[in-house]
Amino acid sequence: MLESDPSRDFSKHEDPSIAVPCSYIPLPDGPHTRELASARRMPPKRAIFKVFSGVLILALVFAIIIGGRNSDVHANGNALLATSTSSMASEPLRPVSRGVSAGVSEKANHVFSGVEVASFPWNNTMLSWQRTAYHFQPEKNWMNDPNGPMFYKGWYHFFYQYNPHGPVWGDIVWGHAASKDLIHWLHLPLAMVPDQWYDLNGVWTGSATLLPDGRIIMLYTGSTNESVQVQNLAYPANLSDPLLVNWDKYSGNPVLRPPPGIDSKDFRDPTTAWYTSDGKWNIAIGSKVNKTGITLIYHTEDFKSYELLDGLLHAVPGTGMWECVDFYPVSKTSGKGLDTSANGPEVKHVFKTSLDNDKNDYYAIGTYDEKSGRWVPDNPKIGIELRYDYGIFYASKSFYDLHKGRRVLWGWIHESDSEIADVKKGWASVQSIPRTVLLDTKTGTNLLQWPVEEVDNLRLTSREFERVEVKAGSVVPLDIDAATQLDIFAEFELDKEALEMTAQTNVEFSCSTSGGAAERGALGPFGLLVLADDSLSEQTPVYFFIAKGIDGNLKTFFCADQTRSSEATDVNKQIYGSSVPVLKDEKLSVRLLVDHSIVEIFAQGGRTCITSRVYPTKAIYGAARLFLFNNATEATVTSSLKIWQMNSAFIRPFQPGQDA
């Protein structure tokens, strides 16, 4: 275990990022979540916490039962929502903070904080439809961060933060599932539970490292009986078991405590380790000093004793606490993934952090100097530059899949409805479809994310639509059997005359601050309306918007508009999106995975990604429709599409002794 080193006291440094000349510039095209101020309070004893949680859940259920008449619904942005016909009165939503006082990021949806919003009278038909068919989620209850993904003896393993007692955050343990193909899953027994003083208040996020001799190292953050964040070591009880059902905790835990100057609640989420040329392993841990997000680096030979290295892997002022840090190499020349320890002249390194301040995942591409232990972004003026996903995607974790030579990324997709609705349906959160991650060698400045190839095996029947003309201001229905479980690939072309004739403008465009798909421009918006009903009273537009600057150059934006996605009142309805690089002679293209209440979107081969949670009240089951639309004022759009109906994944509990 690391002994405290008084010489490494971070409290003595007003700005530990002085050696890292980077600034944090919030991206203008993402939604700006308001910062939540939550008072710190002393953590209750575990027994009292459980009683309080039980009483709170009962109170929420009682609120659902007595929920009453829904008041008139007002316009969200520029979109007028329909009025509920319920004759019962509804209680105003009063969100409860979860996680902050315990020392992790906010785990409750606070979009309605300080706003008088009535809970919507959801019925079981609506809520049942929201459960996904081919995204991973537990049978019930709350789930958040992905943990320790790996491939071992023919099985993919996935661990996750899980509350076995209810559909809200709390009592966190490690859930565990295994799969042969990353799509069909077996639910296994809980891997780790809070049963020791060093993790009594939660078995939190961690990462797996597979050693060359076949051993597996699992490092995870524990919240102690005094709510101090420490790092702990665990390993499989039986390496001959391919399902890794049983896990042992190291008797000498914790192996790491917060160093001097680091707050006891700001030291969490160890990364996968990478091997260095001096025969040791490095791990990174996220933290902060004042408002500067930092990443600490530790050296170890045996994963039991550690040395805190001088300097920081990276730091950016003004970003706050860095959670779920990830650090991995990508090839500059190959279309294959790289082992976490790879380095060399043909390698770039990706640094990623999950910002507690705004609940988004940011990354930048740069160069790692193993000797100094420093990583320098390619753009030295910006410390963290891009987002993995411009919608709902947080606490992501990647791993190197040695079976197929690829890097695979998981991300937590939380709910954006009310906690009352989550309690009623009995579950909350899903995981993204696992994504491959590569460096975009054409631009050299961004990553490419794409659904793993195994998801293609869920494709059933398909329909193709060739060169469908969509005139300015029109909507075209697409004749498909059902529109709830789809894999869609679409390409779009604008008529060249409109591109050339469109006037230049100095008006800045932003997805999140625009009027959404209803705001018309010369060259957009145009795209698809998913999860729409026949009358279009509910619809989720996914679209491109092209702006022509005063220099005559075209800039392409890609957006998802949720403002008219549901007639429910207690749903977060934002407009997500960002600019997307489009190179010369490239067609505009997008892939969508529609799976009930989640829509994952990949533009231009995965240069820009958006994940949305959608909660329609009418555009569900057989009433869900799919449309092309073009709301541009001057351009005609031609689109070609291939649309597959998608099968459901087989996700079930595993019983000992049964055939896997």
- State the catalytic residues: 145
Cα 350–Cα 104–Cα 251 angle in degrees, nearest 5: 85
The pair of structure tokens assigned to 643 is 């649309």
Chain centroid to Cα 97, Å, comes to 20
The pair of structure tokens assigned to 212 is 């060359």
Label each residue of 530-568 as H, E or C.
Answer: EEECCCCCCCEEEEEEEEECCCCCEEEEEEEECCCCCCC
- Cβ 140 vs Cβ 451: under 8 Å: no
Give the CA count within 13 Å in the CB-facing half-sphere of 436. 19
Question: What is the DSSP secondary structure assignment for residue 621, as one 8-state letter?
Answer: G
Interacting residues of 139 by C-beta distance below 8 A, sequence separation 6+ = 187, 427, 653
Q: Where are the alpha helices (DSSP H) in 131-269?
A: none
Q: Where are the alpha helices (DSSP H) in 454-610?
A: 496-501
Cα 236–Cα 240–Cα 245 angle in degrees, nearest 5: 45
Helix (H/G/I), strand (E/B), else coil: 38: coil
Q: What is the largest CA-CA distance in the chain?
A: 72
Radius of gyration of the chain (CA): 24
Helix (H/G/I), strand (E/B), else coil: 453: helix
Give the CA count within 13 Å in the CB-facing half-sphere of 607. 23
Residue type at position 656: P
Residues forming beta bridges with residue 368, ordered by sequence position: 375
The pair of structure tokens assigned to 638 is 């031609």
Q: Is 437 exposed, middle or buried (0-12, 13-18, 19+ CB in 10 A)?
A: buried
| C-alpha closest to that of 274 among 250, 258, 296, 297 | 297
Q: Is 497 exposed, middle or buried (0-12, 13-18, 19+ CB in 10 A)?
A: exposed
